[in-house]
Structure 1
């Protein structure tokens, strides 16, 4: 029991450290992208952390198998490099016992990975689509940023404000260009109405439409028919810009709940649904399969160091992931039957892991030692028949 807790603790501690490092790196990359969208005005600044949080379930589901794989390699690699595993083997601890201990942590990791990939990630993706739809339906007046030209959601006007007060949502030094109707022929931006006001404020009624009320300003307008240029001073000027109706975007399959993927669908979507199901199941399943590969690969010589087999192990993991991606694409394009799917990749990886494990076990060494004798006996028998 002491050995069980020791091995489990070492692998779990290393796995958590690797997981947090990987999550920090990838979340930082997402953070930079979201900040870029916020600086361009695509999303409000207060929604940055929301979009980052919605990326966490998808990233966590992908990083957990990798963190387990690297955690096993680093933890057992250190134990082998310090000759601790040699002592444990001398005390009767077999390679299969080490695998069984690691499988306990692998099953726990697979459960959490399944929660992320099968439930939380689709739910977060769906919520992200809803937020984007609401932002797209917004007229843009409530999300105006000082010092930037912004087009309203219905594309009827361009607004520029010099300063904005967050307390009462009022503006100072407002410029508005009311664009000509798209259906009108011969109109240009020169013929649009230009309004400048010293102050302004946004009001929203019960129907959801927003009204920009400008005060103490001048409206300029060019009459193309009469060739006249008009300038009108005003105390109050109302510009009503209604919110756009919410348009439901096309939902990617990543946003669909797993339960809906099992429902009957049109024949042309059947392959894509099955590919998505197998892709979500692949990550929890990979936690179990990668354990059989990581444990034998963690066996290193004390003189080699604990990082001796890190590069070939990472290449195996990368090949495993790329093959899964290729098989998923093949199933979606109906080049590979859906009942075959990604299972050949899983079976091949499992066979490789069992083969590597048998080479390290005593029974595997005995079989390996008997193979040359069997080959020689077979060769002698063939020579006897020939003579």
Structure 2
């Protein structure tokens, strides 16, 4: 029908615009956050773009849910506001007849939500953890930066290097201090370089001095040397898998409370999309003579409430306060009943939200 093609065309344009806005906001937020981590030395600056991309992939399911809900609400609300919906309703189109074209438009988006919820989310989290763990497993020399004091993550050493070659093979004006058994060791050297012996890496200092002693005591020992080797320690980090980075089949193969709670959360995302897709139809009704923002405000509150309740259900499953079966479908069945009630209200031509009710109660 003409109205179906018109509706799907407007939904496609609006969904594209809404998704681009959400993507821009997400990219800006993630860039600020991840660049901050890079400035603090928690991640490699070279991996910033990759981590931003992985984070966006992980949250694409949520972004698509919001895109679907908001785009349907925007288009239908505009049709009511411009009296275009009145024409279609007068032509014999009912509220329930809107479900078919909207469902056809939403089918691909819901499939993408399922893919990114079950596949994209754990894969992006696993790759992000791998990149961060690989950066943390660098040796002590890789952590050094010219002109900065850096503390070793594996030993109680503090390094300072004034100059370093681009390949990190040669250094100049080195200062190293460490504490062992209450004694302080300080090593200063003019030059140095890295060597590998028997599989171990060393930084070999040349033409320097070593000061050994206990703070507050006069018995410091001073040793001058031509060559002095300092073993470079590796930072071994155990990359433990978390529930967010475990693949969906693995969650079901190992049905612990945490894994089942994570599966319930992932399965809940496409169910949220379906319920919100249907809820947007009766929620979009608007009287042109009344406020134009009430539907959008209610849409934001509904989405935030729904998503937060899903997180609460996930937490209850982890804490054994709710069974897995009930947590998997219970919340979504309740929302589906609310959606059915709203359709029933619209069939009876009753508004879902009456501003006059709130106005009278406030005046009273």
Distance change in 2, residues 1:83/1:28 (3 Å): same
* 1:241 is aligned to 2:232: yes
* SS across alignment from 1:248: coil
- CA distance in 2 between counterparts of 1:58 and 1:205 reads 43
| Cα drift, residue 235 of structure 1 | 4.1
- Whether 1:218 aligns to 2:204 is no
Alignment counterpart, residue 325 of structure 1, candidates 301, 308, 311: 311
| Distance (whole Å) between structure 2 residues aligned to residue 96 and residue 145 of structure 1 | 65
Alignment match, 1:62 = 62
Q: Within 2, Cα distance between the matches of 1:203 and 1:305?
A: 74
Please give the secondary structure, in 2, of the residue aligned with 1:247: coil
1:200 to 192, 196, 203: 192
Q: Deviation at 1:323?
A: 1.8
User: Where in structure 2 are the equivalents of 1:166-181 lying within 5 Å?
Assistant: 166-167=166-167, 169-180=169-180
C-alpha spacing 1:76/1:195, structure 2 compared with 1 (3 Å) = same
- Pairing 1:297–2:289 present: no
Aligned to 1:385: none
| Structure-2 separation of matches of 1:274 and 1:316 | 25
Q: Note closer, same or farther for the CA distance 1:164–1:298 as it changes in structure 2 (3 Å cut).
A: farther
In 2 relative to 1, CA 99–305 (structure 1 residues): closer, same or farther, beyond 3 Å? Answer: farther
Range 275-284 or range 296-305, more displaced? 296-305
In 1, the alpha carbon distance for the partners of 2:280 and 2:118 equals 25
Q: Cα gap change, 1:35/1:140 in structure 2, threshold over 3 Å: closer, same or farther?
A: farther
Instruction: Name the CA shift for 1:140/1:29 in 2 (closer, same or farther; >3 Å).
Output: farther
> For residues 10-89 of structure 1, what are the structure 2 equivalents within 5 Å?
10-89=10-89
- Assess if the C-alpha contact under 8 Å between 1:81 and 1:304 holds in 2: no
Question: What residue in structure 2 maps to residue 369 of structure 1?
Answer: none
Sort the Cα spacing of 1:2 and 1:216 in 2 relative to 1 into closer, same or farther, 3 A: farther
Instruction: Classify 1:323/1:168 alpha carbon distance in 2 versus 1 (closer, same or farther; 3 Å).
Output: closer
**Paired residue for 1:352?**
338
SS class of match (2:97): helix
Give 1:43 deviation, angstroms. 2.0
Does structure 1 conserve the Cα–Cα contact (< 8 Å) formed by 2:171 and 2:191?
A: yes
User: The residue matched to 2:234 in structure 1 has which SS?
Assistant: coil
Deviation at 1:177, TM superposition (A): 1.2
- Extract unaligned runs of 5+ from structure 1: 367-387
Separation of aligned partners in 1, 2:138 and 2:122: 25
Residues 3 and 236 of structure 1, relative CA distance in 2, 3 Å threshold: farther
- In 1: Cα distance, 2:313 partner to 2:341 partner: 23
Q: Which has the larger radius of gyration?
A: 1
- Report the TM-score, using the length of structure 2 for normalisation: 0.86
| Matched position secondary structure for 1:117 | helix
Structure 2 Cα separation of the partners of residues 19 and 255 of structure 1: 25
**Could you tell me which residue of structure 2 aligns to residue 259 of structure 1?**
249
TM-score, normalised on structure 1?
0.81
Task: Provide the secondary structure at the position in 1 that maps to 2:325.
Answer: coil
Measured after TM superposition, the shift of residue 320 of structure 1 is 1.4
Q: CA 1:151/1:88 → structure 2, altered by over 3 Å: closer, same or farther?
A: same
SS at 1:211 equivalent: strand
Q: 2:184, 2:214 within 8 Å by CA — same for their partners in 1?
A: no
Unaligned stretches of 5+ residues in structure 2? 351-364
Deviation of 1:19 (Å): 2.5
Deviation at 1:336, TM superposition (A): 1.1
